[in-house]
Amino acid sequence: GENVEQHPSTLSVQEGDSAVIKCTYSDSASNYFPWYKQELGKRPQLIIDIRSNVGEKKDQRIAVTLNKTAKHFSLHITETQPEDSAVYFCAASIGYKLIFGSGTRLLVRP
Amino acid sequence: ETGVTQSPTHLIKTRGQQVTLRCSSQSGHNTVSWYQQALGQGPQFIFQYYREEENGRGNFPPRFSGLQFPNYSSELNVNALELDDSALYLCASSLGGTAFSGNTIYFGEGSWLTVV
């Protein structure tokens, strides 16, 4: 079936530490994997995305890796800051739609 | 700022009523998708419109319907509202076609619907 599993559901890190969120998808035809950050009461904002022809992509403190064989992709945030605290969603494309994970609540402790 | 605008931002409806939510796409984007995000969950795909035709639908009942206009703006209509319809409704636009080809999508600010 169409499914994206996301772990962990909550993550608490000390400011300056790294945070890693992992997702697994079910459909081998998925070819696009965006990550969204959602702050309380606001819309999901695209922070980084990766396509299936790329194994890794980096944008400043944020990086995403993709393992198509294992159907895994991960978000890495380095040097975390309190403003990184939010809910993060991974998603995988299936045809004309995105299937979202259940979200990870990240708390960065000052 | 994504260029995708939605209205209204907040509204309260009574169970059994009907609601219409509106979305203006980012300039040049011909594809609009609607998602429902219940509290504490990830967005769920409702349907997608491309050049005024519905070209994909998620697991939502027929009382969820939509329209896309020649200027690519869109409406989401929900009839016979139920309490579980309370959610954030997100509109997303993209430059796509009949199949999602991995084009980046941008969400609007959303419409918060509360059904009482």
B107 to chain A nearest CA, in Å? 7
Q: CA A68 to CA B32: how far, in whole Å?
A: 28
Percent of chain B exceeding pLDDT 90 equals 70
Q: What is the pLDDT of residue A95?
A: 79
- Whether B98 shows a pLDDT value over 50: the answer reads no
pLDDT band for B2, please (50, 70, 90 cuts).
low
- Determine how many CB atoms are found less than 10 A away from the CB of residue B112: 16
Q: CA B58 to CA B81: how far, in whole Å?
A: 18
pLDDT top residue among B43 and B103: B43
Instruction: Tell me whether residues A96 and B41 touch, CB distance under 8 A.
Output: no
Strand partners for B42? none
Strands (E), chain B: 5-7, 10-13, 19-24, 31-37, 44-50, 53-57, 64-68, 74-78, 87-94, 106-107, 111-115
pLDDT in tens, B67-93: 999 988 999 999 999 999 999 999 998
Q: CA B57 to CA A87: how far, in whole Å?
A: 26
Q: CA A91 to CA A106: how far, in whole Å?
A: 17
Q: Which amino acid is at A55?
A: G
Q: What is the pLDDT of residue B26?
A: 77
Q: What is the pLDDT of residue A2?
A: 82
Name which of A59, A89, A23 is nearest B107 in CA terms.
A89
Q: What is the pLDDT of residue A46?
A: 92
Instruction: Tell me whether residues B45 and A44 touch, CB distance under 8 A.
Output: no
- Whether B103 shows a pLDDT value over 80: the answer reads no
pLDDT top residue among B53 and B22: B22
B53 to chain A nearest CA, in Å? 13
Q: What is the pLDDT of residue A26?
A: 94
pLDDT band for B1, please (50, 70, 90 cuts).
low
A42 to chain B nearest CA, in Å? 7
What is the residue-level pLDDT of chain A in tens, covering all 110 positions?
689 999 999 999 999 999 999 999 999 989 899 999 999 999 999 999 998 888 999 999 999 999 999 999 999 999 999 999 999 999 998 877 899 999 999 999 99
B63-89 burial code (b ≥16 CB/10 A, e <16): ebbbebeeebbbbbebeebeeebbbbb
Q: What is the phi/psi pair of residue A46, to 5°?
A: -65, 125
Instruction: Tell me whether residues B106 and A46 touch, CB distance under 8 A.
Output: yes
Per-window interface: A 63-92 vs B, CB < 8 A: 89, 91
Name which of A10, A57, A1 is nearest A34 in CA terms.
A57
Test the B interface: residue of A37, A68, A96, A102 with most B CBs within 10 Å:
A96
Q: CA B28 to CA B91: how far, in whole Å?
A: 15
Q: Which residues contact B6 (CB under 8 A, 6 or more apart)?
A: B21, B22, B23, B24, B89, B90, B91, B108, B109, B110, B111
Test the B interface: residue of A23, A48, A68, A97 with most B CBs within 10 Å:
A97
Q: What is the phi/psi pair of residue B85, to 5°?
A: -80, -10
B55, closest residue in chain A (CA to CA): A96
Cβ contacts of B43 on chain A, cutoff 8 Å? 44, 89, 98, 100
Strand partners for A17? none
